[in-house]
Structure 1
């Protein structure tokens, strides 16, 4: 079993489980429990609507960059429009990953992970100069013990770090860049100018290079030494032994070719050729041995490459969760889920608290409640849901102006509206989601 570290701000339970546990907590009367359940359902529908707007922005602007699309724009975007559309997609990507409680992984951190020795003994390289955009986020990491084969009968236990979820966005440079590098575009494994989004699970940090479509493999220094040093070592005595008898070797070859006139021109006696045959046999034997060893080392290297390609295939097939436009849809669903869970937890604990709570006390209260109820430790993100509750405002019967679901007093204590008033605010928000009657409310 993997040993998990703290799960950051991510809440590893469904929204429905959170709601049900609040209802079963015994802090609400039967009447208020029904109201709270309705409040959660309406709130979830509201956030579904809000994130649907984000999805529409992505769908509208991702078309020119989507390598999987079969849809073509009616009018190709201008250069300025193209750059603006790219910026909107990147901004939306950052927005939904942050809302889903994913943690950004810098390019420097990724390159550091790539620099470490992979689980496969091959040298891999990823050229970040190929990218116009590179963004990486992860969620959850755990330690895992694996068995690595070292020699025929020797296996080694290793502890590796694994990303539980990892998302990568790559925007490749335009075709002109690759043409300037004298690259054959038809042989690339990606389409220049397109934006790729990859969503994977359970990827070892040492194998993050498997996720890049422009990864290349080379011999390690160990492979090169095993390939070159024995070859040079075997070649030196061979050459030293052959040099004094080079003329005899040439004559022996000419004898095999029945070139008697050339042999006579070299002024070599027949008995000398009889003595050179063992040298020729030894030379051929050395050459065959050397060639066989070199072939064995090259075959070992090729087998490593085949294993690497198999691991790439297994990762792409078994660990892939979504790609490109489908990845955006799935990530938005996760962001929506996280936002709702956080807001529900904040509203519930402020609603049922016997005493006023400031943001720090509320954060600690929720983390303790989660540990007691679920047996898991999280680092709850208190600022996000507090800000979201403040942003949801509307009119209620008891107040002429608009009022927010959450307010903070001068002493920093947080207060939420009662269930009845909160339902009225949400109802007002829904009624005014679209304003087609021209009336300024």
Structure 2
């Protein structure tokens, strides 16, 4: 069972569920219920449009960095354009991850996992100098308890700290760097100069390094001992068995060197040494025995490596949620959902509140309401949705008034004491409808 440790801003319910929760709260009458539905519908449509524009910007700029691209630019970008396009992708990535309520993971925390193991018993190395950029975000800092087999039938309970969701963006250096580095890897799992984006679920914190395409693996000290001690144990009786043949070979060498007294000290009969056939048989027997032993140990080593690689492959295959350009699409959807859920919750609670609220009071009220209604403890991000509501500005067109004579007003404003005030439902619907009608020529909001 997974146990959450820290409250996060992420709201673990769909936007439609949050809207229904507000409608079922009993604070709106029948007429207000329909108006609130209409407001949420047009608000969601508007934000879908805005995030679609963000996605298009990312897609256009990601083309030269996409390792899986099946399209090409008509004109290759210049060096200046190349750098600007890379920055545009990275800025867009940071923007949508933060708006999806994911948390930036410092590079130091990732590097801490190197040399440590949790579920997969591997020694790993990642060369961070291979990267031009490395960015990591996560959501769901939790843990689970497992029973891990130690020796024979003995099992030990172990706590595994995990990230329920983790996203990596890695931009590799250009090919010239790897040529200068004299990289001798026969098969790279990456293309120099490309940007890789990975999305995984339920990854142990100490196994983050396994997600990198340039990770190298080797046996731990424990595995080396388990491999080496049996090898030494098997080699000793083999050497003892082959010792007579070894003595014959040494004797033959000494005979060629005219060192007959030394042959006598080996207690090897000179007739055997002078006889070619026994010597050949001894040489062949020794070569076959040692060769067979070496092949057996090499096969054991290869089997161990294959098992390691299978463990890694199975872990990454079943926990992978997306790669490269598909990750951007996924997080555009997640960011859109989070943004709308937050705005709807803020607007609803300001709408039904009998008293004016300051941001801090509103934050506490929403968190308590979510805890009461759903049993969900969240760390609500109050400033993001408040800013979004304040930035959405439009006109409330009334009968007999020319549109050009009306000022644009925000959905939310603050009074002199810092209290939040939102437009009533009728006016709020008109404002958001005006913004939506003028979406293609409205310049008041920039993503």
TM-score normalized with structure 2 length: 0.85
Structure 2: runs of 5 or more not aligned:
274-280, 399-404, 443-447
What is the match of residue 421 of structure 1?
Answer: 427
Q: Secondary structure at the match of 1:379?
A: coil
Distance 1:296 1:406, change over 3 A: farther
Distance 1:334 1:246, change over 3 A: closer
Conserved? CA contact 2:118–2:204, under 8 Å: no
Q: Give per-residue Cα distances to partners, 1:217-262, cap 9 Å, x unaligned.
A: 12323344555678789999999xx99x9976511688xxxxxx74
What is the match of residue 134 of structure 2?
Answer: 134
What is the match of residue 105 of structure 2?
Answer: 105
User: How large is the RMSD of aligned CA atoms in angstroms?
Assistant: 3.5
What is the match of residue 69 of structure 1?
Answer: 69
Q: Which range moves more in the overlay, 97-106 or 144-153?
A: 144-153
What is the match of residue 273 of structure 1?
Answer: 269
What is the match of residue 57 of structure 1?
Answer: 57
Q: Secondary structure at the match of 2:108?
A: helix
CA distance in 1, matches of 2:28, 2:331: 33
Asked if 1:168 is matched to 2:168, the reply is yes
TM-score normalized with structure 1 length: 0.86
CA distance in 2, matches of 1:291, 1:146: 41
Q: Secondary structure at the match of 2:342?
A: helix
* Aligned-pair CA distance for 1:362: 0.1
Q: Which range moves more in the overlay, 262-271 or 369-378?
A: 262-271
Q: Which range moves more in the overlay, 193-202 or 230-239?
A: 230-239
What are the residue-to-residue correspondences of 1:91-102 with 2, within 5 Å?
Answer: 91-102=91-102
What are the residue-to-residue correspondences of 1:144-223 with 2, within 5 Å?
Answer: 144-184=144-184, 187-223=187-223
Q: Give per-residue Cα distances to partners, 1:379-410, cap 9 Å, x unaligned.
A: 00001000000110111136931110000111
Q: Which range moves more in the overlay, 114-123 or 319-328?
A: 114-123
Asked if 1:23 is matched to 2:23, the reply is yes
Q: Secondary structure at the match of 2:183?
A: coil
Q: Give per-residue Cα distances to partners, 1:288-339, cap 9 Å, x unaligned.
A: 69995x8777666544432332232223321111111111000110000000
Q: Secondary structure at the match of 1:163?
A: strand
Distance 1:304 1:155, change over 3 A: farther
Distance 1:298 1:160, change over 3 A: farther
* Aligned-pair CA distance for 1:118: 3.7
Conserved? CA contact 1:210–1:312, under 8 Å: yes
Distance 1:33 1:297, change over 3 A: farther
* Aligned-pair CA distance for 1:433: 1.5
Structure 1: runs of 5 or more not aligned:
255-260, 437-441
Conserved? CA contact 1:170–1:195, under 8 Å: yes
Q: Which range moves more in the overlay, 216-225 or 261-270?
A: 261-270
Asked if 1:345 is matched to 2:349, the reply is no
Conserved? CA contact 1:359–1:413, under 8 Å: yes
* Aligned-pair CA distance for 1:265: 6.3
Asked if 1:402 is matched to 2:398, the reply is no
What is the match of residue 119 of structure 1?
Answer: 119
What is the match of residue 332 of structure 2?
Answer: 332
What is the match of residue 401 of structure 2?
Answer: none
Q: Give per-residue Cα distances to partners, 1:408-435, cap 9 Å, x unaligned.
A: 1111110000001111111111222123
CA distance in 1, matches of 2:378, 2:173: 39
Distance 1:271 1:213, change over 3 A: closer
CA distance in 2, matches of 1:378, 1:111: 29
What is the match of residue 418 of structure 2?
Answer: 412
Give aligned pairs, total. 424
What is the match of residue 88 of structure 2?
Answer: 88
Distance 1:217 1:396, change over 3 A: same
